[in-house]
């Protein structure tokens, strides 16, 4: 399922401009455009907000697990071809090198499949802070994989 195509279809069916949707969601029109053309993907919290805006179930826009696993797979795709057992060992080693909060956020997101708003509440942090931390952690993982797999 392509979230961008689903968002574009829902928006067009309702004769809504990208700017109008952006205003409702408090994001930029450019970001809505990037979602629709596949350059960026909304996280599941945003998918839920989009679904609520259009009065549909979030699963009609994107599969939650698929979005979360794509985030993680982008960290290792093209870097290495490693079996699942090796990847689990690699990620375990990576987590040991992280600060406690980073590691716990990473596990909540990619093992327990929590959304960023739930994680922000767990840690008493702003949701944008959680997104930034997870983004930096994924970059660290990509670097770690490049350095430790050959």
Beta strands in the chain (DSSP E): none
* Three-state secondary-structure class, residue 37: helix
Angle, in degrees to the nearest 10, between helices 127-148 and 64-76: 40
Delimiting residues of CATH 1.10.10.10 domain(s) in the chain = 64-148
Domain with CATH 1.10.260.40 in the chain: 3-60
Neighbours of 24 (CB within 10 A): 15
Record the pTM: 0.62
**pLDDT tens per residue, the chain (150 residues)?**
789 999 999 999 999 999 999 999 999 999 999 999 998 888 887 898 999 999 999 989 998 777 777 777 777 666 566 666 677 788 889 999 999 999 999 999 888 888 888 999 999 999 999 999 999 999 999 888 888 876
CA–CA dist 99, 113 (Å, integer): 20
Q: Was domain 64-148 assigned CATH 3.30.530.20?
A: no
Closest CA to 138 of 67, 75, 70: 75
Domain 3-60: which CATH number of 1.20.1070.10, 3.30.420.40, 3.30.450.90, 1.10.260.40: 1.10.260.40
């Amino acid at each position: 399922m392509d979230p961008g195509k689903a968002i574009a279809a829902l928006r067009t069916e309702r004769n809504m401009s990208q700017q109008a949707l952006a205003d409702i969601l408090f994001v930029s029109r450019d970001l809505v455009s990037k979602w629709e053309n596949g350059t960026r993907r909304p996280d599941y919290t945003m998918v839920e907000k989009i679904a609520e805006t259009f009065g549909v179930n979030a699963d009609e826009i994107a599969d939650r697990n698929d979005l979360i696993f794509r985030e993680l797979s982008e960290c290792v795709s093209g870097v290495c071809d490693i079996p699942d057992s090796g990847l689990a060992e690699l990620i375990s080693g990576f987590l040991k090198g992280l600060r406690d909060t980073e590691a716990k956020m990473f596990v909540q997101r990619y093992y327990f499949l929590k959304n960023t708003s739930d994680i922000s509440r767990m840690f008493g942090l702003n949701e944008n802070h959680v997104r930034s931390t997870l983004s930096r952690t994924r970059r660290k993982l990509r670097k770690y994989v490049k350095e430790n797999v050959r």
